Amino acid sequence: MNILLIGSGGREHALALAISKSPLLTKLYVAPGNPGTAAIAENVALDQADHRNIIAFCHRMRIDLVVIGPEAPLVAGLVDELEAAGFPAFGPSKHAAQLEGSKGFTKDLCRDFNIPTGAYERFTAAEPAKAYIRKHGAPIVVKADGLAAGKGVIVAMDEAEALAAVDMMFSGSFGAAGAEVVIEEFLEGEEASFFALCDGEHALAFASAQDHKRVGDGDTGPNTGGMGAYSPAPVMSEDMSARVMREIVEPTLRGMKARGAPYKGVLFVGLMIGAQGPKLIEFNARFGDPETQVMLPRLEEDLVPLLLACAKGKLPAGPVKLKAQTALTVVYAAKGYPDAPERGSEIRNVDKAARLTDILVFHAGTKLDGNKLLANGGRVLNITALGPDVRTAQQRAYAAIDMIDWPGGFCRKDIGWRAIAREHKAE
Ligand code: AMP
Ligand code: GLY
């Protein structure tokens, strides 16, 4: 099979690595890819927004499957256009990608199909939104309806902050994404992510993970795309995973089918696990970054038939075969991230670290200048380690990081701390 993978982050390097191991693969192209994917596939300079050019490439290279990493091309309808041109694609249609593209769409689906989530209301003007906040009080959560690169959510601990968030969103700070606002009940508990593969009709539980969104140690400072993650999430017991499938994933698939938008691809379920069980915080219509960098290294079967089954229907009954080991990844970011990452600093000894047993180094924002590796983005590398428990995986990941010589980079020193505290308690 010839496969085209769209994207350029650590998630795509992890996907490319798993796909490259498939006996079914003839040739893998990654567009645009990064220096990590270049080592295991052929990078091609295609613009993910130029759907016509992508389809022309698929014709030229006789592509059998297109795998889409990021959300923007999904929400822009790339899957619909590929399928109309006869190319199977892994990912939801434009309509189904509204599960990520519109928080209001998702909340209405939850209401109509009895999916557990926080109480909410949708608003298109500031005054009624403020009245709702005054009525319900803080803490309360204010969300821009559309895609806002992870920045459209304000968890307001007091009323004034919530009112200010409403003004900020309706003032156009988030462009079209903020033209509508969802105000939601504050949920308490432990956050976890759960991933299910879907073929429009059926869902197959894939894996769980937890990430660290804040830039600083102890989960402090501004939010980022994710500074590290581990899989599995200890809070996601078998019983909890089964509840999430039954109470959230399966009704979502039924609801999407009833809405005329059957959901195919991976459903990324952002959860709050509280006293009453799992509640939905949000859906994403794609794999997580950096969650993918800890889930795929645990996969013990060929990824390609699973991706193909999502695209074409007929997912196997499962379960997916995963290593019992824990995987933990630390994001190595350029100084200045998330506000203004410095570009161009040199990174040495990545290959040395990548040769360690139980270590995988995934590239994200890197570029090659001759044979020099340079930082070229915010999140630059992901150092993933496997181990028998979170603590061992963490030690291995940081030992590998210590071998990398990159004065222009920084990472959190405590990825996995919550899970390690749980392991200590269990001892
Ligand atoms: P989202 O982009 O919807 O995942 O929100 C970003 C972050 O805001 C989540 O990871 C949570 O930490 C937090 N958050 C979102 N919604 C809620 C909620 N209803 N209650 C508490 N925290 C929330
Ligand atoms: N790590 C969170 C995300 O991929 O959205």
Confidence (pLDDT) at 148: 75
CA-282 nearest atom, ligand 1: 3
The CA-based angle 120-124-125, given to 5 degrees, is: 105
Asked whether 371 and 307 are in contact (CB, 8 A), the reply is no
Query: Smallest Cα–Cα separation from 4: which of 97, 94, 72, 87?
Result: 87
Confidence (pLDDT) at 178: 67
CA-118 nearest atom, ligand 1: 19
DSSP 139-204: SEEEEESS--TT--EEEESSHHHHHHHHHHHHTTTTGGGGSSEEEEEPP-SEEEEEEEEEESS-EE
What spacing in Å lies between the alpha carbon of 14 and ligand 2's midpoint?
Answer: 14
Summarize pLDDT for 340-383 with one digit per residue, the tens.
999 999 999 999 999 999 999 999 999 999 999 999 999 999 99
Query: What length is written for the chain?
Result: 427
The yes-or-no verdict on residue 94 having pLDDT over 70 is: yes
Are β-strands 140-144 and 153-156 bridged in parallel, bridged antiparallel, or unpaired? antiparallel
Residues in CB range of 417: below 8 A, 6 or more apart: 218
CA gap 158, 79 in Å, rounded: 42
Domains along the chain?
A: 2-93 (3.40.50.20), 119-185 (3.30.1490.20), 190-312 (3.30.470.20), 326-426 (3.90.600.10)
Starting from the CA of residue 212, give the closest ligand: 2
Confidence (pLDDT) at 174: 75
Give the number of other CB atoms < 10 A from CB of residue 426: 8
The alpha-helical segments, DSSP class H, found in 195-296 are 238-244, 250-258, 292-295
Mean pLDDT, residues 189-210 taken together:
97
Asked whether 281 and 274 are in contact (CB, 8 A), the reply is no
Cα→Cα distances 342→265, 334, 336, 376, Å:
35, 6, 6, 8
Please give the model's pTM, rounded to 2 decimal places. 0.96
CA-150 nearest atom, ligand 1: 2
